[in-house]
Chains A and B, each alone.
Chain A
Amino acid sequence: MSGKKEIFKRGALDVAPHMLSVVPFGVICGAIGIEMGFDPYLVYAMSIIIFGGASQIVFLQLISGGASSLIAVTSVGVINSRHLLYGAVLSEYLEKLSVLKKIIISYFIVDQGFAESNKYLKKNKTQKYGHYHILGTGITLWICWQASTILGIILGSFIPDELGLKFAVPLTFIAIIVNDLRKFDHLAVMLVCGLTSLLIYDAPFKSYIIISPLVALMFAHIILKLKR
């Protein structure tokens, strides 16, 4: 059984490749806020207070487009409700921890970190210090997110739109699930989710981001029933 430090490091290393997309995304997030004319301190504070890239950008877009705060906050809530699913998956590995530890670790649950830590925890179910892996991925992502948002705020509009850095975001998620394409059931679930998201993309509050996963999970449930 490895020690806390090693597992933390392992988490940091496992998530490190995703910096290729997290950094450009953070830079875009900072730059967009400034371009839209928001207070730099507000743009940066969002990275600490909300700490969720897609939702931060949507929030800024909605407010600058004249939407009410209620709508902006609701959208952030809907977009980030996918964390409920991550929490449900991770809870199995965190159940023995004290409430205080759970409260702290929760703050660091993010997409890429969840994906990598989930892989690790699945393989190391008996690992007593498995939660250090979540901290390793989460804190690494947190630091990079803060640094890259600041970079984006400073660089602002110097980054040419033509580079299309936003495209790094879908790519990082392709990298996360590409290995599961080997399994036919997973491939089917992915297609259901993806196609649903395109179909209902215009639904209010960006709710496609939680409705499509729920539809896909219902579909997974049906697959499991058929398999039996």
Chain B
Amino acid sequence: MTWLSVLIAGFVTYLSRMTMVTLIKREMLNNKIKEVLVYVPSAVFPAIIFPGVFLNDYGNFVEFSDPKIFGALIAIVVGFYSKNIIFTILSGLISYWVIIFLL
């Protein structure tokens, strides 16, 4: 039963990847839609970032002094100035660990 659900879930996921790519024709995307689609990364990824930083495993808000908030702020500052993915992720993780393990 679980196997069957995994197969269906996989099929649904694949459809989500495939439909737009195969069905949309150039004529269907006018300039207005294209202008809005430019915002897709900015409109999608915060929905993964914000809950990952501000909520705990049980979906409750963490405190303002939470190491995750500190780590995220460090990562944003480092990422903003370095424009480097590795520095951004590492600075966030390391500052998070420093607070957890050393302070």
A-side residues, CB < 8 A to B, are 17-18, 20-21, 38, 42, 45-46, 49-52, 54-55, 59, 63, 69, 72-73, 76-77, 80-92, 94-95, 99, 102-103, 105-107, 109, 111, 114-115, 118, 162-164, 166-182, 185-186, 189-198, 201-202, 208-209, 212-213, 216-217, 220-221, 224
Contacts and interface: CB of A to CB of B under 8 A. Distances in A.
Nearest to A48: B10
B70 to A, nearest CB: 11
A131 to B, nearest CB: 10
Chain A CB count within 10 A is highest, among B35, B84, B89, for B89
Instruction: Tell me what chain B mostly uses at the interface: helix, strand, loop, or mixed.
Output: helix
Given A18-B85, A180-B42, A201-B59, A220 B36 contact: yes
7 contacts: A92-B34, A167-B68, A178-B79, A193-B42, A197-B46, A197-B51, A217-B40
A63 B43 CA distance: 29
Interface residues of B, number: 67
Contacts of A179: 79-80, 83
Given A55-B13, A197-B50, 13 more contacts: A49-B10, A59-B9, A69-B5, A73-B8, A92-B26, A106-B14, A118-B40, A167-B96, A170-B49, A176-B45, A192-B43, A201-B55, A213-B47
